Amino acid sequence: MSIVPFSAKLAKHFKSLNIEWLAKNFKVEPHDAEYLDQPQKNIIDKGGYVFFYKLENEIVGTLAFIKQGDKQFELNKMAVTKAVQNKGIANKLLEFSLEYGKAKHWKTLIIYSNTQLEAAIHLYKKYGFQEIELEENCPYERANIKLKLDL
């Protein structure tokens, strides 16, 4: 197992893993499509990052950090393919996120989510994320909860 950074040849995995997750749980919103169609332009070139979880030479998970401000990033587009869910990969991706953010000296991570995703909310809270007020002009229709972690 390894976590590898974004490359143009892996961009298709970023999109396919997230489409799989979104189609199962919600829908692909316009804001999602911006990131999924052009991660280099809409995430990385704007100061963000995309990573992939590689298991036995196969990409099975992904996540993105979207820059929100000075030393504040949104943990976004975390997805694990159905074939390997419930094997601790989401935990490893989240642990990586916290370690990476601390190493970069970020101040905060935020997450937009939905309370229907009880396992995900439980995971975030297990790692110290706390619920904060969701702004009126939230970028995601599906989001009904916002969480924050001071690093």
Quick check: 30 pLDDT over 90?
no
Q: In CATH, what number is assigned to the domain containing residue 99?
A: 3.40.630.30
Question: Sign (positive/negative) of CA torsion 17, 18, 22, 23?
Answer: negative
Measure the CA–CA gap between 17 and 108, rounded to whole angstroms: 25
Instruction: Please give the tally of structural domains in the chain.
Output: 1
CB 89 within 8 A of CB 61: yes
- pLDDT at position 21 is 84
Quick check: 32 pLDDT over 90?
no
- pLDDT at position 87 is 82
Domain of residue 29 covers 2-150
Task: Give the pLDDT mean for 56-60.
Answer: 92
Task: Give the pLDDT mean for 133-138.
Answer: 91
